[in-house]
Amino acid sequence: MFKVSRSRNNREDRPLKSLDRVFSKAGVASRSEARSWISGGRVRVNGKSIRNPDHWVDLERDRVTLDNKPLQQAARRYILLYKPKGYLTTRRDTEGRPTVYDLVSDAGIWLAPVGRLDLDTSGLLLMTNDTGFADRIADPERKVPKVYQVKAATLLSDGQLEQLRHGVPLNDGPTRPAQVRRLRDSARHTHLELTIAEGRNRQVRRMLEAVDSKVLKLVRTAVGPLRLGELPIGKWRDLTVEEVRLLGG
């Protein structure tokens, strides 16, 4: 039976969770997938069929089953995927476009992405069934650095790079200072490395637009201490124990 240590932040010092959250905390399904199981009558609590995903469960006292089998804590899994351009960071797409789940189907376990990379961005994407770990990595207060290689649509001046370094205004507020390094210039384009510690939607693309340019190519090459290294595009590998520790797992 799935149990966790006693929480001191819940009512009467009891670790209460909504039923759908119990499944994600156990690392066996997303909350949306769990909700479909629950509403479909596949889940019981203390032998009673529960179809309300928001039903409160006491993790120390209640027995949760799926298809009459006790819910067990899944083994923690942490993988690094080299996401190609053209893949969505979502489980399903209504238009039938490929998703990152097509690339990790052979992992044999439910995984969720830690943050997102948009359709036209490639690079390092973490995936895990450890929701607490994912929350810690995505927490903006931890300021986990993310490194991108950018091909700009124009040649960027030193002044434009300085603007990126000091922070630029966006419609959801100014960006934090960034590390910016010019890699090279071609006849019409600047290639640069940009390191940020935020995770706003399409942030790097919007930053380039804020200095009157655009992103032509975007690759995330690092998250914290992790690097793509020699991993082929479209492939994944498990993190080492040391890598998980360095990330705060």
Tokens found for residue 60: 């120390």
Tell which phi-psi region holds residue 222, choosing left (phi > 0), alpha (psi between -120 and 50) or beta: beta
Pick the catalytic residue: 93, 102, 118, 135? Answer: 118
Q: Is 158 helix (H, G, I), strand (E, B) or coil?
A: helix
Name every residue whose Cβ is closer than 8 Å to that of residue 134 and which is 6 or more positions away in sequence.
Answer: 112, 114, 126, 128
Number of continuous H segments (helices) and E segments (strands) in the chain: 6, 15
* Residue 118 annotated among the catalytic residues of the structure: yes
Antiparallel, parallel or unpaired: β 190-196 and 112-113: unpaired
Instruction: Tell which residue, 111, 87, 113, has the closest CA to residue 98.
Output: 87
Q: Rounded to a whole number, what is the distance in angstroms from the first to the last CA of the chain?
A: 24
Query: If you ran DSSP here, which 8-state letter would residue 88 be given?
Result: B
C-beta of residue 100 within 8 angstroms of C-beta of residue 46: no
Give catalytic residues, as residue numbers: 118
